[in-house]
Amino acid sequence: MWRALRDQSADLKGLVMRKVLTLRGDSPALRVKMTLENTSDAPRFPGAWIQNRFYCGGEKGIQVAYRPSNLGIRMVYVENDRRYGDEFVRRPSAGWAMTFDRDSEIGLLALVDHNYLKMHYSCITMYTTEWFYDRVLIQPGKSWTTEYTLVPVQNVHNCYYADEQAIITAAQEGDTLSLQFRATQAPVAELPITVKIEKSDRSAVLAETRAKLTNLTRNDRQALEFPLPGLGRGAVIISLQVGAGAGQRSTEFLYSSDEDAYYAPESASPYRAPLPKKIKPELMGQRDLTLTPHEGLSVLHGVGLWYEYNRIKELLRNLSPGVSFRDSFYTSGVLGPELTYQPLLAEELMGYDLIVLDNVGANALGDEGEIAVKQYVATGGRLLLTGGLCTLGKGRFQESALQEALPVQPDGYFDIVRLPQFAPVTGAAFDTGEVQWIQSVQAVRPGAQVLLTVTDKPLLVRGQYGKGQVLV
């Protein structure tokens, strides 16, 4: 349980883990069914951590990992004692990871349920393929079950897509791109494919085709070829639809003839892949939620970097001298951004009059916290987001469950803007002084109220979500 990395949490007490490993005679794939059972008398919120260590070619060599993410395909490997790429993929866009030996082209594909996938981790120097699951709610006497599959593969030198049916690799010769398809396990009698290839800035569609592949097997590759003038000097965006009907899967990635693009830092490319919405029935189900009446003002304060400059506590103490605060401090470590107290269920928040995320991003809440805060606001709660380097765009609100509750649409990852000169604030009932740095937003949502502006740019916006309010 990764939760134990930080403390000996009560979330681990009374949990029983069971695994059933299945290896069939007609398939090389190892299927693992994992169940976490809560034998205690209280709800538990554990997070599982899976680690697999193996040498793809049978001995230590140059092992390469491909993983899908919000930045596109991310690669990592070590050569001559130097690591290329990031071992962590903190925003996976799909539930697969391909690891292979560069010389023998023998590899292992891991297939995981993306709905509960927190992040991929390839400790490439230790020859591991690992992943962390999101924390899951398990009620007393109940259990949570997931399955993952490990599939050995051969003749693999990259990977751009994988699922239970098909694996897609690519090859390039000059300006011709070849997408290569093979069956993941059992033969596939028929597989409809739709491919669209665009320029990297999406200014033009370069190719588009529909095909129906037949009799796919694990050992034979079928290819679709695309002549793309200029590909040898650049990159393209490839969108795929695999399968048909209710089982159709969609994916998108940036293909580049330059391998460096797959391990370049986040700031090196504006490309961002769409992230599928996660489905977690145990968190999203309708529940009877009601705010708890009490005396005084009770505030849950998410305390981020440089929070003191926002002077939120001073403001609230002036408005309500008897205000009480519960501070939850922003931290960041191997698991990414977190809060020292993370709300996991909306029921935990019903006693607060206000939640303040003071330069704290949605990425510090986790999927569970995002859903809990969203349900709290919809029930009638109030949420205040301050500006800062760690919030809005960089805080991943545009990719979070909270995005539809915000009165503004975040402007992307780097959204701090310097005005040409200091400018006055318009709309305030007192002298606020002049400002030069603001947080830009892509748009103000319909129905939201702009309370303060600077040079006609929104500075303070209020919106309604359900029965509650959000102030940004």
Residue 217 pLDDT exceeds 60? yes
pLDDT at 195 over 60: yes
Give the model confidence (pLDDT) of 9-58 as tens digits.
666 889 999 999 999 988 889 999 999 999 999 888 888 999 999 999 88
Listed range (8-17, 239-248, 382-391) with the worst mean pLDDT:
8-17
Among 390, 385, 406, which residue's Cα sits nearest to residue 337?
Answer: 390
What is the pLDDT confidence band of residue 325, given thresholds at 50, 70 and 90? very high
CATH architecture of 2-268: Sandwich (2.60)
> How, if at all, do strands 354-358 and 298-303 pair?
parallel
* Residue 396 banded pLDDT, cuts 50, 70, 90: confident
Q: How far apart are CA 176 and CA 253, in angstroms?
A: 17
Model pLDDT, residue 428: 87
Residue range(s) in the chain whose domain bears CATH number 3.40.50.880: 286-471
Mean pLDDT on 108-133: 95
Q: How confident is the model at residue 246 (pLDDT cuts 50, 70, 90)?
A: confident
Query: Using CA atoms, how far apart are residues 387 and 62, in angstroms rounded to an integer?
Result: 44
Alpha carbons 189 and 21: distance in angstroms, whole number: 27
pLDDT reading at 399 higher than 90: no
Closest CA to 185 of 20, 21, 23, 66: 23
CATH 2.60.40.10 domain position(s) in the chain? 2-268
> CA dist 107 to 41, 89, 399, Å?
44, 19, 32
Q: Considering only the top CATH level, what class is 286-471?
A: alpha beta
> Concatenated DSSP letters for 332-348?
EETTEEEESS---SGGG
Task: Return d(Cα 215, Cα 224) in angstroms, integer.
Answer: 15
d(CA 135, CA 146): 13
pTM equals 0.84
